[in-house]
Chain A
Amino acid sequence: MNKKKSGNTSRVINFKKLLREPVLLLSILIVFYLLTVFVIFPLFQVFKTSLTFEGKLGFGNYIEVMKKSYYIQPFINSMILGVLTATIGTFIGFIFSYAITRTPMKGKKIFRLIATFPIVSPPFVIALAAILLFGRSGVFGGMFGNIYGLKGLVLVEVIAYSPTAFLALVGVLRAIDPSLEEAAMDLGASRLRVFRKVIFPLATPGIVSAWLLVFIQSVADFGNPMIISGDFSVLSVQAYLQITGMYDLPRGATLAILLLIPTVAAFYLQKYFLSKKSYVTVTGKPTAATIKNLEWYIKLPVYSLCVFFAGVVLLFYGMVFYGSFQKLWGVDSTLTLDNYVQMWRVGKGYIFDSLIIASIVTPITGFFGMFIAYLITRKNFPGKNLMEFSSMLTFAVPGTVVGIGYVVAFNTTSAIMPFTLTGTGLIIIILLVFRNMPVGIRNGVAALQQIDPSIEEASIDLGADSGTTFRKITLPMITPAFFSGLVYSFVRSMTAISAIIFVVSGKWNLITVAILGFVDNSQYAQAAAMSLLLIVIVLIALGLIKLITDKLGQGMNSATVVE
């Protein structure tokens, strides 16, 4: 009894303290309002819609879904796809990260660059390349039989998402102190035994978490299956087709929920496994002495796989490049610039819309994300956990679900959102801000956790209020993380498709939607040309922001530029 009471009093005092900082209190309330309207409300609406069957509330849609293989099949297919992609992708990612962190392989930088390429490029470019390579009129047409379907989809998604596993695992393997390996070998263990008994067990939580990350991305992927899934129907595409093709919102929403459940479950499992890796030792600079003389039977397979995978990635992107200059794909291979001319004529508007929207979205996401990261790591207020949960939610939720949520939630006015947003540029901006924000928040939280809280305490102790402390002390110190958040936000704003496709309109349209349109019309060469243009824009932006970050971030803790 007593204990409880005292807990309450100090919470009351915390709240009283908050009342003394009206600006802080007001901004917390605004953040909560925005998160409620643009994160919680759309998801809630998807749930509600999925429960509406023939005008009444109920589980009718789910019963329907369970009964008809027509609906349950996409679910099973998505799971199969997710498991296959995640397993193969994590394997490749692990070998790659092993090669980078634990072997004296030459040209590590180049391998790294190639491996991270699929992350910054639009997600469906690989599918496009697969069609150019193995499609009906492709260079190696018919070599693997029909490329449309599970086989092609797994191939494409493995290339697209094993870099995710690679990046996650590089961190994990790097954190394992090489002196552990040395100790084990010193005690008489062979290299293979060291791997089995030391490295692998230490990396297991990281491997599981990487697997789950790839699984989520694969299940939530929309662009690649849209292009290459053929008769192999998956949830994201089916949900989209139900809504845009059949105008059946309840069924689309139900499929979206079926898509949401495994991904969100996987997301929280992943967070759990990530939190378990605490026993990984971090001891200053790793001294990697043992990697100097590695046995050939380890080097050979590891190097071969790296070279092979890098080769495949280069082949795919090279094919997009090559394809963009061909007169008529598969018929007339004369090199020409016609595709670019035509792409520009048709897609000019899309490109400008994309650039305008991305340049509005990027700074808003950056500041808003940093502010939430600051509130979460540094402030105490009621509902803090709820704020963290809801602001990270859009990261776990597949884009298709978010997109459907925005359609349902903002088609009409409601008590908490008095304007209709559908069809405006604003809805695209808002969607992108809230969808890209979680990574900014995560970067911000990581950067803030590195800064000793006593530095901010010192500022407050010297009389500065929260706002002044944030502007004068915190913000300058997290600049690098802030800019890397900007990079991510810009890249994603330019390359996003799954959620965006639901909210674009005749007035506001985006470059990725245009590329998908070209593919739909089998204008592969124009699609390739536009994809290349998009990649170039993204690379220029990355370079620019890196320049700024290097200038600003001198002597400060630098954060990784790309996730």
Chain B
Amino acid sequence: MRQDYLVLKDLTKKFGKGDAVVTAVDGINLTVKEGELITLLGPSGCGKTTTLRMIAGFHTPTSGDILIDGDSVNTLPPNKRPTAMVFQNYALFPHLTVRENISFGLKVRGDNKEEIIRKVDEIMNLIGLNGLADRQPRELSGGQQQRVSLARAMIMEPKVLLFDEPLSNLDAMLRVSTRLEIRKLQQRVGITSVYVTHDQEEAMTLSDQVIIMKDGLIQQIGAPVEIYSHPCNRFVAGFIGKANFLDATIKDINNEQLILDFMGKEIIAPHWNKSLKQGDSVVIVARPESVIIDEPSEDCIEGTVINSVYFGSQMLYEVKITDDLIFRIEVADPQQHIQYSAGIKVGLTFKDRSLHILSAKEGAL
């Protein structure tokens, strides 16, 4: 297994000329292991799609390098690159049948006819398209079209499989089941994949590594669990999952724990970032599920419920602490807890081990 199967080196893409230059991707570096699925995640305009299209060859990098399996592919046109893409709108050829769509790339390559038929049957079986070979794309459901698009790319056995928000046109239920299937399929075949999405849940459930991008820059690279529990700055913390941000100062540090001061109350948090010193201003990242809501008491942060929404599996509260600070709190399994309605005074405490601390600088980004 190659550790540097796909490498992006100082990859930069600028659009426009003269004064109107927009830097879509700003010198990013990335290494992907063979067989890994990585996700480029970020809000629209963050450069994730541009990066993907540079790997595919549809955009020419302004500077920097793309290496696939050790070879630079910079000057190769898209049709000569060992990549295959699953498009956002599937981009099925409307005048060709499902079989013709899937076999298109093999035919262009000039593969043996019987070999093509065998391979197409095999992949249609694998992906669950049996019996649809002679249909036209417009006779398929959205989910089926999506599968054809996937089959058409996978049959090429590309070195790198590219996904450009492939699930964004499916309805919510189908999206969840399809992304599980994609993940299973990708692991079974062991194909190195780059997946672009703006849906953080999709990124979390699919990937070996998540790459968070913003304004053409990589914010953080890491496994989903790492990114969720230890976001590197305020943007990442807010983009992956929901978060409450509390400005606090460090009162004391011992080996394992930070003792923090927040509005005169003491909060204990795990001590991960060893560069923090006593007296530093910090930002506490408290996930909504890490906040415990209870009757008001001495050591609690006090607040008033301003909104409560019942979701069945969970209860969502908005609790006002001060005029500028409103907490979002999620309580799982609400039947097991007291339910508070708007106007009621409550006390908040934290599940200490789940808190994450950002330095003042990280907290500002």
Contacts and interface: CB of A to CB of B under 8 A. Distances in A.
Nearest to B12: A6
A461 B56 contact: yes
The 3 closest A-B pairs by CB, nearest first: A462-B105, A454-B91, A458-B91
B238 interface: no
Given A10-B60, A458-B93, A463-B108, A555 B138 contact: yes
Interface string A470-507: 00110011000000000000000000000000000000
B177 to A, nearest CB: 24
B93 A459 contact: yes
Interface of B: 12, 14, 17-18, 21, 56-58, 60-63, 74-75, 77-80, 83-85, 87-89, 91-95, 104-105, 108-109, 136, 138, 149, 152-153, 156
Interface size class of A (residues with CB under 8 A): 20 to 34
B89 A464 contact: no
A461 B84 contact: yes
A528 to B, nearest CB: 46
B63 A9 contact: yes
13 contacts: A3-B17, A4-B17, A10-B60, A13-B60, A20-B77, A20-B80, A452-B89, A457-B85, A458-B149, A458-B152, A461-B79, A461-B153, A465-B77
A80 B127 CA distance: 70
Nearest to A468: B108
A21 B108 CA distance: 16
A458 B93 CA distance: 9
Given A461-B78, A462-B84, A465-B77, 10 more contacts: A3-B21, A6-B12, A21-B77, A458-B93, A458-B149, A461-B57, A461-B79, A463-B105, A556-B94, A556-B95
Interface in A201-221: none
B156 A473 contact: no
A7 interface: yes
A455 B149 CA distance: 11
Contact of A463 (B58, B89, B109): B109
Nearest to A455: B91
A463 B94 contact: no
Nearest to B21: A3
Contact of B91 (A16, A452, A468): A452
Contacts of B149: 458
B58 A9 contact: no
A448 to B, nearest CB: 14
Interface in A443-467: 452, 454-455, 457-465
A563 to B, nearest CB: 25
A556 B108 CA distance: 24
Contacts of A477: 94-95
* Most chain B CB within a 10 A radius of its CB, from A6, A452, A458, A468: A458
Contacts of A13: 60, 74-75
A451 to B, nearest CB: 9
* Most chain B CB within a 10 A radius of its CB, from A454, A455, A461, A468: A461
A6 B63 contact: yes
Contact of B18 (A4, A457, A476): A4
